[in-house]
Structure 1
Amino acid sequence: MTDETMISPDDAVTGASEADTGAPSHEDVIRERDEEIASLKDRLLRAAAETENVRRRLEREKVDVSSYAMTGFARDLLGVADNLRRAISALPAEAPGFEAVKTGIEATEREMTSVLARHGITRVVTDGAKLDPNRHQAMLEVDSEHHEPGAIVAELQAGYTIKDRLLRPAMVSVARARTDASA
């Protein structure tokens, strides 16, 4: 036997061995491995959750891109819709010889409105509404006996939304708040 593997009589009495003098016990090794396994499981679960969050975000962005991809084109078409409305308004009510023209322009306007609606583009409501700064742009205030202060009196230019987003605010005139002198 060599001196390295010999147990001294003192060690034999106390039950001490080389394992007790600095080398980790089996329980310590198992505890360290369990902690490492728990740490790796936690990291794996976090990575899986992050991957799922990225997948959901990309799916949501894909839906948004497909829903709102034509926003610029739609804004350009709104000018055409406005001009059709102006053309109808410019024709006299009793215009001999222009009935067919007026009917054609009205049919074109209806078709454009229908196409816009099929793509989720709708007109902002202004009739009888209170001013909503998220949907309306107040261009001027007017005195009105028939409207509450802050109520929309007239629509100057139609506003539109695409799905749930504002495409163009409605430009409106709003009833002015009454002062004591005017009441």
Structure 2
Amino acid sequence: MQKQISDTSDYAVTKFASDMIDSCDNLKKVMEILKDGDPVHEGIKVAYQRIMNDLKKHGIEEVDPLGEIFDSNLHQSVVERDDNKKEPGTIVEVLQTSYTIKNRLQRPAMVILSKKSADCGSD
């Protein structure tokens, strides 16, 4: 019973977290468009970092799986890309980072995976 109460309390922020994660995604997109050194970019960057720090205080963390091996429990593969330098199934690009709440997956990462090219070794 005590564990159930604790879990309910810990994960009560799930809906709030989803809304905040969407807002963070939008801020990241704006930062990608604006150039470093632009005062607006710098202001958004500071606001983004403060929001991320506040989320972290409540156990909500962003996870960037770039370079990791694909795990269907944590990642959602969107497409594969030819890459003979990396082991097949390695995450070569992250389209959307994942988030956890107290180490429980809130949102899987959307990723692009490496694969061996079809013409590998046909020279």
Q: TM-score, normalised by structure 1?
A: 0.62
2:111 is equivalent to residue 168 of structure 1: no
Q: What does residue 100 of structure 1 align with?
A: 39
Structure having greater relative contact order (Cα 8 Å, sep ≥ 6): 2
**Contact residue 124 and residue 135 of structure 1 kept, 8 A:** no
Equivalents in 1 of 2:64, 2:48: separation in Å? Answer: 18
Structure 2, unpaired ranges of 5+ = none
Q: What does residue 139 of structure 1 align with?
A: 78
Question: How has the CA–CA distance of structure 1 residues 111 and 93 changed in structure 2, closer, same or farther, with 3 Å as cutoff?
Answer: closer
Structure 1, unpaired ranges of 5+ = 1-57
Equivalents in 2 of 1:124, 1:93: separation in Å? Answer: 23
Equivalents in 1 of 2:111, 2:44: separation in Å? Answer: 25
Q: What does residue 11 of structure 2 align with?
A: 68
Greater radius of gyration (CA): 1
Residue by residue over 1:8-63, the C-alpha shift from the partner in whole angstroms, topping out at 9 and shown as x without a partner, is: xxxxxxxxxxxxxxxxxxxxxxxxxxxxxxxxxxxxxxxxxxxxxxxxxx101000
- Alpha-carbon RMSD across the aligned residues, in angstroms, is 1.4
**Contact residue 154 and residue 174 of structure 1 kept, 8 A:** yes
Query: Which 4+ residue blocks in structure 1 deviate beyond 2 angstroms?
Result: none
- AA in 2 matched with 1:122: E
Equivalents in 1 of 2:36, 2:85: separation in Å? Answer: 27
SS in 2 for 1:114: helix
2:101 is equivalent to residue 155 of structure 1: no
Equivalents in 2 of 1:115, 1:141: separation in Å? Answer: 35
1:166 shift after superposition: 0.6
**Contact residue 126 and residue 155 of structure 1 kept, 8 A:** yes
**Percent identical:** 37
Residue by residue over 1:121-170, the C-alpha shift from the partner in whole angstroms, topping out at 9 and shown as x without a partner, is: 11123122111111111011110133210000100011101012110000
**Mapping of 1:14-163 within 5 angstroms?**
58-93=1-36, 99-163=38-102
Q: Higher strand share goes to which structure?
A: 2
Q: Higher helix share goes to which structure?
A: 1
Aligned length: 121
Q: TM-score, normalised by structure 2?
A: 0.91
